[in-house]
Chain A
């Protein structure tokens, strides 16, 4: 069973995405301790601000030499600069709101 961590300061959105991913048979955790995040298969971050502010970085989430966990970002921002900056800093999937929950489930199941 996949282990997916959700990071968001918005509890309502976090709960919505968590319920959608539970349908895909994933185990959802909202524990944001770094050692817990590194043990997950996928980390879903809601909002680009966590990366854009330097609060979070791909290097801090992954151990040296590993490509786990996969990092998904779901954000409201559609601008090219934001998307490119997220992909450049190592995010694996960038999705925008309004998010297609079915597509999110499929992407999470595929990884």
Chain B
């Protein structure tokens, strides 16, 4: 009986190890693909017939909005949903900075959404890619549905709260959309970094909007996964721990603060030391099954750290220091 249990345990551990190695290989391939695309899509960024992507987001500050509008790909827009009553200062700041003007708004019945008060577009041609919606703040899904109603393009990228987009993320998504066009793909997601997915607009409409159960039941054959990060969240204390544990590309090698990197590496070293200590103890006591299981845990942690450190990244920021006190890059 114990032999059967041992065999079962070994089979499980081996399967887990192979899956982990497969993930590492996929991430390395994705990194190599990213280098290839970085050399080729700059020259095609102007393709007039490229797929369009609408980035949907909620409350933004100036820095985040500049990051979202900072993509060179022309067929990309940013749809921001904010509550002007609740975030009055931030809302007015965006309206003034980007010369937003209120435009005529007709109710669209494509995706149900409540509480939309007004729609704003910029009077300045260079900010034509920005759309601002004044909407009563309800739920995140409802805010995204409102944004989707007024999005111009066929692919929707709802962003997690507070996240910034990596430099070439939009271009990589465009290439992925072109690659999978013939396959009737409903959504393209990523499994590295903050969970992000690019949806086809008609899928969202057919499902009844974001947050609907139908959207969560897309068949696997219509989902494609990119093994590379698309967005980046500024390091917060919780994500610092996640970065240290290798669960997130945050606090990776591109983090600007060396103290955060040191903390993350300290957490990694502590986890490794603790696991190794238990492992040595298990080996000394002859607990071979536990030793094998701990090796698998260490392998999982190593793969997670490897993925976070190899694939992770932060947006390249254009460093411009302004004269106003307290306003720095």
A and B touch in the complex (CB under 8 A): yes
Interface residues of A (CB under 8 A from B): 7-10, 32-35, 47-56, 60, 75-79, 81-82, 84-86, 88-89, 97-98
Whole-angstrom CA separation of A53 from B128 in the bound complex: 10
User: Which residue in B71, B318, B322 is a CB contact (below 8 Å) of A60?
Assistant: B322
User: Which residue in A32, A50, A82, A85 is a CB contact (below 8 Å) of B321?
Assistant: A32
Whole-angstrom CA separation of A35 from B321 in the bound complex: 9
- Nearest CB on A from B212, distance (A): 33
User: Which residue in B124, B126, B318, B321 is a CB contact (below 8 Å) of A9?
Assistant: B318
Whole-angstrom CA separation of A52 from B318 in the bound complex: 13
Stretch in B40-48, B151-159, B200-208, B298-306 touching the partner: B40-48
**A10, closest chain B residue (CB):** B316
Prevailing SS type, chain B contact patch:
loop
Chosen A-B contacts, 6 in total, with CB atoms closer than 8 Å, are A9-B317, A34-B320, A54-B69, A77-B74, A89-B125, A98-B43
- Nearest CB on B from A32, distance (A): 5
- B167 interface hit (Cβ, 8 Å): yes
Contact B125 A49 (CB under 8 A): no
Contact B318 A7 (CB under 8 A): yes
User: Which residue in A8, A10, A34, A82 is a CB contact (below 8 Å) of B323?
Assistant: A34
Whole-angstrom CA separation of A76 from B44 in the bound complex: 8
User: Which residue in A52, A78, A81 is a CB contact (below 8 Å) of B69?
Assistant: A52
Contact B97 A54 (CB under 8 A): yes
Whole-angstrom CA separation of A76 from B126 in the bound complex: 15
Knowing A9-B167, A86-B126, the reply to whether A76 touches B72 (Cβ < 8 A) is yes
Residues on B with beta carbons closer than 8 Å to the beta carbon of A7: 318, 320
- B127 interface hit (Cβ, 8 Å): yes
The 9 A-B pairs of least Cβ separation, nearest first, read: A53-B69, A85-B126, A85-B125, A53-B70, A9-B316, A49-B70, A53-B66, A76-B45, A78-B46
**B318, closest chain A residue (CB):** A9
- B67 interface hit (Cβ, 8 Å): yes
As a 0/1 sequence over residues 45 to 75 of chain B, the CB contacts with chain A under 8 angstroms (1 = contact) are: 1101000000000000000011111111010
As a 0/1 sequence over residues 66 to 101 of chain B, the CB contacts with chain A under 8 angstroms (1 = contact) are: 111111101000000000000000000000011000
Given known contacts A9-B167, A55-B70, what 11 new A-B pairs fall within 8 Å (CB)? A49-B69, A49-B72, A50-B320, A52-B126, A53-B70, A76-B45, A79-B48, A85-B124, A85-B125, A85-B126, A97-B43
Knowing A76-B42, A76-B45, the reply to whether A32 touches B319 (Cβ < 8 A) is yes
Whole-angstrom CA separation of A7 from B316 in the bound complex: 13
Knowing A53-B67, A54-B69, A76-B46, the reply to whether A89 touches B167 (Cβ < 8 A) is no
Residues on B with beta carbons closer than 8 Å to the beta carbon of A89: 124-126
Residues on B with beta carbons closer than 8 Å to the beta carbon of A32: 318-321
Whole-angstrom CA separation of A55 from B320 in the bound complex: 8
Residues on A with beta carbons closer than 8 Å to the beta carbon of B67: 53
